[in-house]
Structure 1
Amino acid sequence: MAESLLSSGHGASDGVPGIDQLLGKKGVVIDAVLRREKKEGEQPLFTMYPRKIPINDSGLDLDRYMRAFGKSLSDKIKINGFGEVLKRSKAISAVLFSDDDGYCVSISIGLTNKTAALLQFDREDPFYTEYLQKKKIVFVRHSFGNFSFFRNRFSSEDLRFIQACIFFPGLMDRKPAYIFLGFPGIDTFELREIFDRLEVFPA
């Protein structure tokens, strides 16, 4: 259902490919990424790399990452941690928490207040059922602002900045979460490059 919605006039402007065409496939399942990462040599210990972001079957383990900034996961610690994520990734970012209704923004850095209020997905939303519920990585390499689906969830100021984006599953405060990163420019991004920027490693 998400494929037909996002590759039709509902998801893309005339002449612009749908999200699945931009992705090359229907999202990327986190397990597949993890298996691919684990083939790349010996696994480092988290204690040796306290500022790297561990990834496991649930996605990015933000709880473990944040503990490098302090013992308690206070709002200040979270902001400090995500400030470093922003600097590494050269992106604006947000964390969306899962609740009974779906996903909504809990923390944002660089996004306008309007976007922070609009960026949410209920459990009936095709984007939720096709991608978020299945813990898929959603990676849009270009033409982000051409999709009416995203235009309805981002302010005009943020749409002028964001050209590519990624929604990445993870855990924070022991709850399912999604990390959104919005990138400027029109360069072609590869998922491997984003992993390198964030210093992600298999836990």
Structure 2
Amino acid sequence: MVYRATAHTQAKKAESRERLLNAGLNLVLEAGFSHITINKVAQHANVATGTVYRYFASKGELCEEIFLKATKIELSKVTETCNTPNKSPRERMETTLSEFAYRAIKGRRLAYALIAEPVDSMLDETRLQFRRAYAEQFAALIEEGIASGDFRNQSAMISATAIVGAMSEALVGPLSPNNCDRIESKTLTQDIVDFCLRALSA
């Protein structure tokens, strides 16, 4: 007789896996991916260490799943503001850039971990894939802006990729755990937004 997992069993497994991911995400919020160990995740989730290995084969796989969880949330927010109805492409670009920078500064430890913290090569590749996903959202918005006259004629994808890179690089230094200076969030955010809009505008 072939065993088939019931809907209840599958739901319980999904719930347990999510609890482990949330425990790992909380550890990243505290001290970045360097703080992650299988034992610590198990302790934070109140489960045995062996339970973690039922869902994740290694620390690297666990870190990648934590990264995916957090980054998908951020990408959905960027996608939402890029597609806000009844606003011009320029207004949507400004809002998207401002809110992205604001969220990064507010959650600086997590943002730094997602943007720049040194990790293994598997996670580096995943980072590149998501940078491409962000760029695709910006490229679609830039194309709208070119058509409406908000932005000058340009290669939308190249400009979008440059914007993603500019935002990331501008935030890395201030967000770094080694930076002890107070972040002037309004000034930093406005400088990033102004730079990107100047680059796009006619």
TM-score by length of 1: 0.26
Greater share of residues in helix: 2
Higher RCO, Cα 8 Å, sep 6+: 1
Larger Rg: 2
TM-score by length of 2: 0.26
Greater share of residues in strand: 1
